[in-house]
Each structure stands twice: as structure tokens, then as C-alpha cells.
Amino acid sequence: MRKLLALATLVAATPALADTCMVPPTDKQTVSGRFGKFRSGGSGNFGSANQKPHMHDGLDFSTSGASQPLYATTDGKITFIGYRRSAGNAILIERSNGDVVAYYHMSGFATGLKQGMEVEAGQQIGLSGNTPSDAMVKHLHYTYGAAQKDAARAAAFPSNAVRGAFNPGQLPHVFNQQTGIGWKTDPAPFFCATFPIQDGNPQLYPILGDDTKEQHAILFGSVPPGGVAPNVKFEPAQVAAANADAALAASEGKSPAEWLSDTDGYGTLPTTPIGGYQTMSTQEMLLTEAGRRFSDAEWNTNVTKVSSQALLVDYNRAVGVGNYLAEAIYRKKERVEALLATYTSQKTERLRRQTQSAHERAQRGAVSRSIQ
């Protein structure tokens, strides 16, 4: 009962716990640029210093086109302060959990700040600006980088999404990792407050909401720390079960791996949807397994933390996949052998005809000699 009550409480809460949520970075507290919006390049980039097509990987906070005070949203350590290419003047602050918050386009820094210094939430760290491009309106571009890829919540949507059918659940998930920042993700759930969005594109409001947490809820739903956002990779039942475990773990201040044990029936690591391999070609299946087991750093890390039951389940799945692939390879060998047999038969057809013709001539000759 205690766990069920904790689950009900956490499911209703925002993904960021109340004692770790962040304060606003500006006094105005209005977002002028949505996270996740795809910018097509040129004029479609709305003055961005990055003129290439790209997904907007942060929240733009309006400062009324002027240089206004910027505040640390969280306690943390400054890991970078200075000029950062298309980001202009920038500050990066690392939180205690390894996540990083980044401030771009600043016009100046607060006196005395330097790399390695500790800052506190609410402390002024500088002024908004438009570095490195005067074509931009002065504002703050705020990026949040998760230390773990599993925590990233990022989906790109086109600016013309309103022109046709729009299903947020089918949007492509974009996971960008950047040196010094981590996996770029939606900052919305990490703030205590939600911020109104005034981006000059009101036709998106009925579809994606008109504030930051409403957009996050529409695109990703309520995802507890360590949980899984609904996506096309996993069955809904898998997502729901994983998030229930994550919520219960968070209620006791633990990660899912720490909280769950063999007695809890902890299942295996995330896999393809149930029955998914039956619809895949052998190549697709091989690429899926190779990507999950060999190129996904998170899988290699998480597999060292799960229970013995989870390891056995994953091992059995690997054996099953191996058997499936062996069977598929056997069937392909059968097909190749059949093709080789057909090829050999065609190549020997001429010899068979010549042999048959010689046999017929020999028979005719023998008959003629008998008559004579």
C-alpha cells in the first residue's frame, strides 16, 4: 500500500522532484523560442547564429530585446566561461547529478566569475545579449544537457506542423550529444515553474500548448526520473511498467537499478517491441541487436547494474536471437544451393543434349549395320 500511494503521488508530479527543481534564469520569464522546433535555414532560422538547418536545442527566453540580468537556475560548478563559436559568450554550469545547463549569446559576465567556481541558484551570472551576431535580438538561449542518454527527452517538429495531420507520438526523437554538455534535452521538466510561450506562432498553441510544461506533457507525457518516454521503440505496456518502477524508486530516493531486485521480478533491459522481430528482415534484426548491444553506451553501462534475473533474461534473449539468425542463415544457404544447382543444371544442359544426340546416332548406326 505504501508503494502504491507513493506511485500515485509521483505520477501526478512533474519529472523533476520538488527539492531539485530550478529557478527561472530571467526576470521576464517568457519563452520566445520553443524547444524542439526545426529551423530550416536562412530566414527560417529567425536570426540564429547557426545558419544551417537544425533543431532548436534549447529554450529562448525573452529579455525584451535588451541586455538584462541572467541568474543561475541551479547550484553547481562553472565548467566553462568564455566565447563558444556560434553560441557567443557562454557559461556552462554542472549540477551535482552531472547534468549541465548552458547560457548562450550573453553580452557580459558577472564580475569575478571563473571556471571551477561554485554558484548558487538565483545568483546573477551575467547579462543577456546577441553575441556573436548583431542580426539576433538580445535574448537568452538556455540549453539543458542530461548526463545520461536515457534521461533525454527531445523530439523535432516542423514549423508547418499545423498544415496536416499531426501526431506528437510519431515525431522523430533526436538525441544530440555535445562535448561538455551531454545529451541535449527539453529543459521544461527541470524547472519549478512553467513559462508562457510567445513565439509569434499562435497556430501551434492548440497543438503543442502555450507554455513549456504543457508542451512537454503533450510530447512526452509524465516521465519520472529514470523512466522511459513513450516512443515507437517500446510497447506501451513496457513503458508503463518501466515508469511505474521508476516512480516507486524515486519515492525512496533511489535509481530503478538500486531499488529493484530479483524478488521484485525486475525484468530485462529495454528491447524491441514484443513480436517486433517477427516483422523484421534478418538485416534489420541484426542491425537492431548490434546497435543495442555494441554501440549503445547506455546498454553497456546499465547491464552492469541490473539483477541476476535480468541478466538471465537478456542472455536467453541473446541465445534466441542467435538461433533465429542461424536459422535465417541456413535458409539463405538453402536458397543459394538451390540457385547453384539450377545454374549447374543449365550449364550441363548442352552436354546432355550432345550426349543424347550421340547416343541416338550410335543407335541408328547399330541398326544399319544389323540390316546389312
pLDDT above 50 (res 19): no
Q: In whole angstroms, what is the distance from residue 193 CA to residue 23 CA?
A: 7
Q: Give the residue, 34 or 252, on which the prediction is more confident.
A: 34
Query: Given pLDDT bands bounded at 50, 70 and 90, which one contains residue 65?
Result: very high
Residue 64 to residue 176: CA distance in whole angstroms: 30
Question: Which of 26-40, 64-78, 352-366 is the least confident region?
Answer: 352-366
Query: CA triplet 104, 109, 111: central angle to 5 degrees?
Result: 165
From 25, 6, 57, 14, select the one nearest 190 (Cα to Cα). Answer: 14
Q: pLDDT tens digits for 96-152?
A: 999 999 999 999 999 999 999 999 999 999 999 999 888 889 999 999 999 988 778
What is the predicted pLDDT for the residue at 271? 58
Say how many Å lie between the first and final Cα of the chain, rounded. 111
Give the Å distances, CA to CA, from 53 to 17, 43, 45, 254, 257.
35, 11, 8, 40, 38
Report whether pLDDT(167) > 60: yes
Express as a percent the part of the chain with pLDDT over 70.
70
Tell me what pLDDT residue 16 has: 41
How high is the pLDDT of residue 270? 59
| Residue 182 to residue 271: CA distance in whole angstroms | 24
- The listed range with the strongest mean pLDDT (25-34, 152-161, 266-275) is 25-34
- Whether 98 and 70 have beta carbons less than 8 Å apart is answered as no
332 vs 367, higher pLDDT: 332
pLDDT bracket for residue 49 (50, 70, 90): low
- What is the greatest pairwise CA distance in the chain? 126
Task: Give the span between the Cα atoms of 60 and 37, in whole angstroms.
Answer: 11
Span 242-275, pLDDT tens digits:
777 777 777 777 777 666 654 444 445 655 554 5
Residue 216 has pLDDT above 80, yes or no: yes
Compute the average pLDDT of residues 200-217: 86
Side chain identity, residue 179: T
Nearby residues of 345 by Cβ (< 8 Å), 6 or more positions away? none
- Amino acid 43: pLDDT: 53
pLDDT given at position 276:
61
- Tell me what pLDDT residue 268 has: 54
Smallest CA-to-CA distance from 130 within 88, 82, 92 is with 88
Quick one: average pLDDT of 198-227? 82
What are the beta bridge partners of residue 101?
93, 144
Alpha-carbon gap, residue 113 to 119, rounded angstroms: 9
- pLDDT-based confidence at residue 289 (cuts at 50, 70, 90): confident
Kindly report which listed range (15-19, 121-125, 214-218, 333-337) carries the lowest average pLDDT score: 15-19
- So what's the pLDDT on residue 169? 61
Please tell me the predicted confidence (pLDDT) of residue 11: 38
Residue 199's nearest CA partner among 34, 348, 322 is 34
Percent with pLDDT over 90 in the chain: 30
* Minimum mean pLDDT range among 120-124, 204-208, 312-316: 312-316
Q: Around Cβ 279, how many Cβ atoms within 10 Å?
A: 10
- The reported pLDDT for the residue numbered 29 is 94
- Per DSSP, what are the bridge partners of residue 127? 69, 108
Question: Cα–Cα distance between 121 and 164 in angstroms, integer?
Answer: 42
The residue extents of the domains of the chain are 19-220, 260-372
Give the ranges where the chain is alpha helix by DSSP (H): 2-12, 205-208, 212-220, 236-251, 256-259, 282-290, 297-302, 308-371
Q: Name 91's Cβ contacts closer than 8 Å, sequence gap at least 6.
A: 78, 80, 81, 102, 103, 106, 109, 113, 125, 126
Question: In a 10 Å sphere around its CB, with 0-12 CB exposed, 13-18 middle and 19+ buried, how is residue 47 labelled?
Answer: middle
CATH architecture of 19-220: Distorted Sandwich (2.70)
CB neighbours of residue 338 within 10 Å: 10
pLDDT score of 221 more than 90: no
For the stretch 82-97, pLDDT in tens is 999 889 999 999 999 9
User: Which of helix, strand or coil describes residue 339?
Assistant: helix
Alpha carbon of 142 to those of 105, 175, 187: distances in Å?
Answer: 9, 17, 8
Cα-to-chain-centroid distance, residue 159:
20
What pLDDT does 179 receive? 86
Q: What is the mean pLDDT of the chain?
A: 78
Residue 138: exposure state from Cβ atoms within 10 A (0-12, 13-18, ≥19): buried
Helix (H) or strand (E) holding 40, with range, is none
